[in-house]
Amino acid sequence: MIPEVGHFAVILALCVALAQAFFSLVGATRGYVNWMAVSRPAAYLLFFLTTFGFCCLVISFLTNDFSVLNVASNSNSQLPWPYRLAASWGSHEGSLLLWVLMLSGWMAAVARFSKGVPNDMLSLILGVMALVAIGFYSFLLLTSNPFDRLLPPAMDGRDLNPLLQDPGMVIHPPMLYMGYVGFSVVFAFAIAALISGRLDTTWARWSRPWTTIAWAFLTIGIALGSWWAYYELGWGGWWFWDPVENASFMPWLCGTALMHSLLVTEKRGSFKVWTVLLAIITFSLSLLGTFLVRSGVLTSVHAFATDPERGVFILGFLVFVVGASLVLFAWRAPKVGLGGRFDLVSRESALLANNVLLVVAAASVLLGTLYPLFLDALGLGKISVGPPYFDAVFIPIMAPAMFLMGIGPISRWKKSSVPDLALKLKWAFVVSIVSSLLLPFTMGTWSLLVSFGLLMAVWIALAGIVNLWTRLKQMSRGEGRTFWNSVASLPNSYYGMLCAHWGVAVFIVGVTLVNGYEVEKDVKMSLGNTVTIGNYTIRLDALKDLEGPNYTGVEGSMAILVDGKEVDRMFPQKRLYTVQQMAMTEAAIDTGFTRDLYISLGEPLSDGSWVVRVYLKPYVDWIWGGAFLMALGGILAVSDRRYRKASQPENGTEGVTASS
């Protein structure tokens, strides 16, 4: 009964979305006030119905209703309940329901928090989002119904893929989807602006917080996915350039460009056409990501059970959404005037250059991801594109962007002078060169790549400090404020920018040092054997059998010795999940600020000993710490006062707070 009710709620939701799209869009373009009045309540109703439907699915999972196909294929009575909950979105069907739940959630949020947006504009925005929603609800109902029954019911379920039975995997998909789907908001803002012809600074101002929140979610989602891969796959890698990883990374790159471009559009009225195009591209890449995962055109670890029918549907939808928006763009954008002019050396130029670099980086990732497909389709042979391509292309593109990241925030709008910039940044420059040359020695050996990576990181960090310092000095000198008063009066969005940029620096440190100084050892160990890595000696003390709820396995007990004294014990496991007969490595990780000690059990050997892998990974956690700081920066920026009191539309009277 419950699944049918849920199914019905989702059908109703589709009907609501149809009505909402019709009344909102027609109402807004014709100016029927009472038609437009539908859009807000419809958004709430849509969210309510979808939440209701989603809860029905969750209940089916929690109560082990194996007469539901989705539950029978992805859950098991022995599965602990948090994973039964997560299994609700572990399958293709369930994750699609999660997707529409989030889309309706974003719509409700737009309806709730857009008080300053004129009614007709809001109707257009919600109408465009409703169109997107119609596509996904129909996709769900026509090709991937999560509520399908299985008759007769299964005795027990086939269990959730063991790889997904992990806390990181419970929250990774929702976060990622919040980001993906969140970009639909800024997309809808852009389309609404194109339709109404109101592509102005106010539009940029409304779009910015939504973009930033979606971006922050996406950042956290990607970071969680990478962290999960690190500790769950058992060999300590954290990024694989897998097509599906790329599919989440491309919208991130474009979303990053979009945030910065929106800033220029809001503050200076420039880049309007570029910004609106970026908004379209960013969401298009989110859709493309969905297509790549669901259609099976590329082989990937992540590919769900694929089905050509689904592929055709999503591709058709993709063509409709992206094609229509690009046609609209080609039709409307030429009429948009240019914004304020700017000099070659100015903050606009720096941001434009960074934008171009980010988009080129996204394009090169796209090219690498689709290249095998292109060649295959042209009959030019079959090739595979691996990490060597991406590393070779990505780093040189991003390096100048990192350099500009130091200069951009400190330069002036419109016109900046080179000598002035050089004066401000000379110490930062000198110190970062010297420290990047010397720092590698403290880690042992010197290498060019490490030195270069550190140069970027130190440069970004120092340029941020110089920026903050200059700003505070100006305020206390020019406006006679005290130091702490100046600190408090700088807007949150400014601190958000600094925090996110420092996040990038921290991230680079992590990547550089772990690539440069990682140590790994593979050894055969019997009881009592030791292996030494860095300062640590690891001794295998015991092996005991393990009995989990839905797995059996072996757990090693390792003593960690420093100078002969035991400082810690670690317990790596090898599990065999009984239902799917899948072996999983549960690495034991001792996380530290400057290094991770990572132990995983490999294969048992015939003489009772085990192959044990031990890694010492310096600064590896800085990778995710950096990503977290970036996301935190986004959240700080959104918490800025001006977004909370921004109920009255105003035009560019920003005064001193013109920042970040």
Partner 1 sequence: MMASARFLIPLGIFIAVAAFLFKGLSLDPKEVPSPLIGKAAPEFSLPLLNDFEAPFANGDMTGEVWLLNVFASWCGPCLDEHPIIVNFARSTAVPVVGFNYKDRPRAAKQWLNRHGDPYTQVVVDLNGRIGLDYGVYGVPETFLIDQQGIIRYKKIGPLTQMDVSQDIIPLIEELSQ
By the criterion CB under 8 A, which residues form the site for partner 1?
163, 233, 235, 237, 240, 242, 273, 277, 280-281, 284, 291, 295-301, 306, 308, 311-312, 315, 318-319, 322-323, 326-327, 329-330, 333-334, 370, 372-374, 376-377, 381-384, 386-388, 522, 580-583, 602-603, 611, 613
Q: Would you state the torsion angle of the CA atoms of residues 319, 338, 268, 340, taken in this order, to the nearest 10 degrees?
A: 160
Q: Between residues 388 and 480, which has the closer beta carbon with respect to partner 1?
A: 388
- For residues 133-163, b (16+ Cβ closer than 10 Å) or e, as one string? bbbbbebbbebbbbbebbeeeeeebebbebb
Q: Is the bond into 173 cis (omega within 30 degrees of 0)?
A: no
Q: Between residues 116 and 296, which has the closer beta carbon with respect to partner 1?
A: 296
Q: How far apart are CA 538 and CA 528, in angstroms?
A: 10
Number of Cβ atoms within 10 Å of the Cβ of 33? 11
- List 627's β-bridge partners, or say none: none
For the bound state, the minimum distance from the C-beta of residue 330 to partner 1, rounded and expressed in Å, comes to: 4
Q: Between residues 118 and 311, which has the closer beta carbon with respect to partner 1?
A: 311
For the bound state, the minimum distance from the C-beta of residue 203 to partner 1, rounded and expressed in Å, comes to: 18
Of 423, 429, 434, residue with least CA distance to 461: 429
For the bound state, the minimum distance from the C-beta of residue 194 to partner 1, rounded and expressed in Å, comes to: 11
Q: Between residues 296 and 652, which has the closer beta carbon with respect to partner 1?
A: 296
Residues 71, 74, 80, 84: is their CA dihedral positive or negative?
negative
**What three-state secondary structure class fits 559?**
strand
For the bound state, the minimum distance from the C-beta of residue 570 to partner 1, rounded and expressed in Å, comes to: 18
Q: Would you state the torsion angle of the CA atoms of residues 7, 13, 14, 20, taken in this order, to the nearest 10 degrees?
A: 170
Q: Between residues 101 and 278, which has the closer beta carbon with respect to partner 1?
A: 278
Largest CA distance in the chain: 81
For the bound state, the minimum distance from the C-beta of residue 3 to partner 1, rounded and expressed in Å, comes to: 27
Residue 87 backbone dihedrals phi, psi, to 5 degrees: -65, -20
Burial class from Cβ neighbours inside 10 Å (0-12, 13-18, 19+) for residue 396 reads exposed
For the bound state, the minimum distance from the C-beta of residue 108 to partner 1, rounded and expressed in Å, comes to: 30
Q: Between residues 376 and 420, which has the closer beta carbon with respect to partner 1?
A: 376
Q: Between residues 78 and 580, which has the closer beta carbon with respect to partner 1?
A: 580
Residue 342 backbone dihedrals phi, psi, to 5 degrees: -150, 160
Tell me if 521 sits within 8 A of 529, measured CB to CB: no
Q: Between residues 255 and 625, which has the closer beta carbon with respect to partner 1?
A: 255
Q: How far apart are CA 279 and CA 203, in angstroms?
A: 12
Q: Between residues 33 and 312, which has the closer beta carbon with respect to partner 1?
A: 312
For the bound state, the minimum distance from the C-beta of residue 581 to partner 1, rounded and expressed in Å, comes to: 6
Residue 529 backbone dihedrals phi, psi, to 5 degrees: -70, 155
For the bound state, the minimum distance from the C-beta of residue 332 to partner 1, rounded and expressed in Å, comes to: 9
For the bound state, the minimum distance from the C-beta of residue 287 to partner 1, rounded and expressed in Å, comes to: 11
Q: For 509-572, list the strands marked E by DSSP.
A: 519-525, 530-533, 536-547, 551-562, 565-570
Residue 312: C-alpha distances to residues 92, 304, 554 (Å): 16, 15, 45
Q: Between residues 373 and 437, which has the closer beta carbon with respect to partner 1?
A: 373
Of 217, 204, 365, residue with least CA distance to 275: 204
Q: How far apart are CA 311 and CA 531, in angstroms?
A: 50
Strands 582-586 and 588-591: unpaired
For the bound state, the minimum distance from the C-beta of residue 29 to partner 1, rounded and expressed in Å, comes to: 22
Which residue in this structure is represented by tokens 């995962």?
293
For the bound state, the minimum distance from the C-beta of residue 615 to partner 1, rounded and expressed in Å, comes to: 10
Q: Between residues 74 and 284, which has the closer beta carbon with respect to partner 1?
A: 284
Q: How far apart are CA 269 and CA 199, in angstroms?
A: 9
Q: Between residues 296 and 548, which has the closer beta carbon with respect to partner 1?
A: 296
Q: Between residues 236 and 464, which has the closer beta carbon with respect to partner 1?
A: 236
Burial class from Cβ neighbours inside 10 Å (0-12, 13-18, 19+) for residue 660 reads buried
Q: Between residues 26 and 576, which has the closer beta carbon with respect to partner 1?
A: 576
Q: How far apart are CA 190 and CA 184, in angstroms?
A: 10
Tell me if 230 sits within 8 A of 166, measured CB to CB: no
3-state helix, strand, coil in the chain (%, to 5): 65, 10, 25
Tell me if 333 sits within 8 A of 276, measured CB to CB: yes
**What three-state secondary structure class fits 611?**
strand
- List 555's β-bridge partners, or say none: 544, 573
What does the block give as tokens for 61? 């999972």
Q: How far apart are CA 391 and CA 521, in angstroms?
A: 24
For the bound state, the minimum distance from the C-beta of residue 369 to partner 1, rounded and expressed in Å, comes to: 11
Q: Between residues 59 and 583, which has the closer beta carbon with respect to partner 1?
A: 583
For the bound state, the minimum distance from the C-beta of residue 283 to partner 1, rounded and expressed in Å, comes to: 13
For the bound state, the minimum distance from the C-beta of residue 301 to partner 1, rounded and expressed in Å, comes to: 5
Residue 365: C-alpha distances to residues 65, 395, 403, 618, 647 (Å): 42, 12, 21, 27, 40
Q: Between residues 67 and 306, which has the closer beta carbon with respect to partner 1?
A: 306
For the bound state, the minimum distance from the C-beta of residue 505 to partner 1, rounded and expressed in Å, comes to: 28
For the bound state, the minimum distance from the C-beta of residue 266 to partner 1, rounded and expressed in Å, comes to: 22
